[in-house]
Amino acid sequence: MKHTLFRILTKVTVFATMFLTILGSAAPSAYATAFTSVQWKLDRLQASTATTSTFSIDLPGSIDWDGTSSDTIWITFASSSAATAFTVSASTTWTVTTTAQFKIQDGTSAGSGTTMTVGAITSTDTTGAISTGGSWPSCLGTADLVISVNVTDRKFGFKRCSANDGSTVAPGLGNFITIAIYNGTGSITNPATAGNNYLATASMNDESQLNTYSDSLATSIIPSDVISGQGAPAATSTLTFALNQEAVGASVSACSATSQPATVTAGFNSLVVGSMNVATSTICTYVSTNAETAVTVYGYSTNAGLKAGSTYLAGSTYSSTTLKTATASFSLSVADNGYCVMSSNISNARSNATATTPFGNTTNNDCTTGTEVSGAGSLTTSLSSIWTGTPNTTSFAHIIPKAVILSTTPSGTYSDTLYFVAAGTF
């Protein structure tokens, strides 16, 4: 019996720019250029276990991965210590005779399209040897790409060959690149210590410009992802987890398994003193599975509240008769400031999903898209259950960030980053 499948595929950055004036408007914030979407999937989440990592990268707009200017894509596994590092095996195992360790596809969606021919593979144990563009094997022959591996830096580089070199997959066939690094002779081993926030980075050097696009991804590592037992399910265990985004309005659309960006930015409208506001978009969480028990969607927060520097957004408890007072203190755990699951009375707001207190499960405390904010609760830096779904089915729920502004709140850009996890038992 397999137990507790996790997927951390997405995160949400929630921000609000506040001006303490009635007519204030939000100032734009600068963000690094990101891919249209990135996903990172691992076939094993158990600590100290060899794993297959699959990265699905949706390139922005008309960008393609071509060889004219030596376009390169990089996958880097981050580390803070030996116990928390993904361990890449010795360099001598990454050779051209083991190209089955990689599968690279160029298509119009994740895991689809033409499989590209891998040419030579070079590998090194020297720190920094390929960190800035590096030493690449030759593209001669019919190779569509060549690969350079740095074992010590946990870095994998993929260089697109030019059609003049004899490559068979034309540039621009699709703008969805899927890179699978398989568990084999050369392998990647999960960190020895379980934890919530293990990182990898996908980046691209486009048209000879370094680090044109980049995104960070996170996953959990758990003590064990297998429980011994008698018997097994007749069907293959499946769990699909997606994050969608749409504008807040009078109605919402049903969530789907498509449009799965790695990062969603849920910004607020301009907030003024004494006002209560909702985000400009809902966060739509979707799970489809054949798990035998209810699937749970968890979340945790980087800041445990909207924060600018060391200052948290000042808020208070909502009352239908007294909105708030200037001296009210803000508690991260109380209702009425934070994140909530939309009301089941709103069409398409959720399906087969039951909200968990304090995120909208109490009678008459389900969230709406209006200024009424009762039922909201703030995530902490530890995993918290947000909603549970019906076993063996498709479930989804829209989540809205909400906030209250006081006259004591200084102006500034307040932000928080949320991570979502789906878990099921099979």
Q: Does any domain span residue 88? A: yes
- Cα–Cα dist 110/36, whole Å: 12
Residues 335 and 279 in one domain: yes
| pLDDT for res 20 | 26
Residue identified by tokens 């408890």 is 317
**CATH assignment of the domain containing 75:** 2.60.40
Q: Does any domain span residue 38? A: no
| Span of 11-15, 217-221, 273-277, 408-412 with lowest mean pLDDT | 11-15
Backbone CA torsion sign across 120, 121, 126, 127: positive
How many percent of the chain have pLDDT more than 70? 70
Q: Does any domain span residue 418? A: yes
> Which residue among 221, 245, 268 closes a domain?
221
Backbone CA torsion sign across 206, 121, 262, 265: negative
Q: Does any domain span residue 37? A: no
Cβ(38)–Cβ(217) below 8 Å:
yes
* Cα dist from 133 to 39, 74, 125, 147, 158, whole Å: 24, 10, 16, 12, 10
Residues 169 and 248 in one domain: no
The residue range of the domain holding 280 is 5-31+233-424
Residue identified by tokens 């999903």 is 353
Confidence of residue 400 (pLDDT cuts 50, 70, 90): confident
Confidence of residue 375 (pLDDT cuts 50, 70, 90): low
**Predicted confidence (pLDDT) per residue in 26-58, tens digit:** 232 223 488 888 999 998 999 999 999 999 999
**Predicted confidence (pLDDT) per residue in 149-176, tens digit:** 989 899 999 998 876 667 777 766 678 8
Residue identified by tokens 């109380």 is 334
| pLDDT for res 426 | 74
Q: Does any domain span residue 258? A: yes
Residues 214 and 111 in one domain: yes
| pLDDT for res 86 | 94
- Cα–Cα dist 396/348, whole Å: 9
| pLDDT for res 190 | 94
DSSP 419: E
Pairing of strands 384-389, 37-42: unpaired
Residues 53 and 14 in one domain: no
Cβ(376)–Cβ(367) below 8 Å:
yes
What single string gives the DSSP state of each residue in 191-234? Answer: -SS-EEEEEEEEEEEETTEEEEEEEEEEEEEBS-SB---S---S
Checking if the pLDDT of 258 tops 50, the result is: yes
Average pLDDT along the chain: 74
User: Could you tell me the two tokens for 133?
Assistant: 């563009």
Using CB atoms within 10 Å of the CB of residue 236, give its burial: 0 to 12 exposed, 13 to 18 middle, 19+ buried.
exposed
Residues 82 and 205 in one domain: yes
| pLDDT for res 28 | 29
**Predicted confidence (pLDDT) per residue in 114-141, tens digit:** 888 888 888 888 887 664 545 788 887 7
Peptide bond between residue 358 and the one before it cis (omega within 30 degrees of 0):
yes
| pLDDT for res 270 | 61
Nearest-CA neighbor of 338 among 425, 291, 276?
A: 276
User: Could you tell me the two tokens for 115?
Assistant: 């499989």
Checking if the pLDDT of 407 tops 80, the result is: no
User: Could you tell me the two tokens for 407?
Assistant: 């006259």
Checking if the pLDDT of 13 tops 70, the result is: no
Question: For 172-188, what is the HEC assignment?
Answer: CCCCEEEEEECCCCCCE
Query: Could you tell me which residue, 235 or 65, shows the higher pLDDT?
Result: 65
Quickly count: other Cβ atoms within 10 Å of residue 401's Cβ: 28
Residues 16 and 122 in one domain: no
Using CB atoms within 10 Å of the CB of residue 331, give its burial: 0 to 12 exposed, 13 to 18 middle, 19+ buried.
middle
* Cα dist from 221 to 5, 128, 329, 407, whole Å: 11, 27, 37, 43
Phi and psi at residue 84, in whole multiples of 5°? -115, 15
**Predicted confidence (pLDDT) per residue in 275-307, tens digit:** 566 777 888 899 988 888 888 999 888 877 777
Query: Could you tell me which residue, 95 or 94, shows the higher pLDDT?
Result: 94
What single string gives the DSSP state of each residue in 371-413? Answer: S--TT-B---SS-EEEEEE-TTSEEEEEEEEEEE--TTPPSEE
Residues 148 and 58 in one domain: yes
Confidence of residue 3 (pLDDT cuts 50, 70, 90): very low
**Predicted confidence (pLDDT) per residue in 184-200, tens digit:** 778 899 999 998 889 99
Confidence of residue 88 (pLDDT cuts 50, 70, 90): very high
User: Could you tell me the two tokens for 238?
Assistant: 């499946």
**Predicted confidence (pLDDT) per residue in 309-367, tens digit:** 777 765 544 333 344 333 334 444 344 567 788 887 778 888 999 888 778 755 445 67
| Span of 207-216, 266-275, 295-304, 413-422 with lowest mean pLDDT | 266-275
| Span of 61-70, 227-236, 338-347 with lowest mean pLDDT | 227-236
Checking if the pLDDT of 77 tops 90, the result is: yes
Residues 292 and 418 in one domain: yes
Helix (H) or strand (E) holding 341: strand 338-341
Q: Does any domain span residue 226? A: no
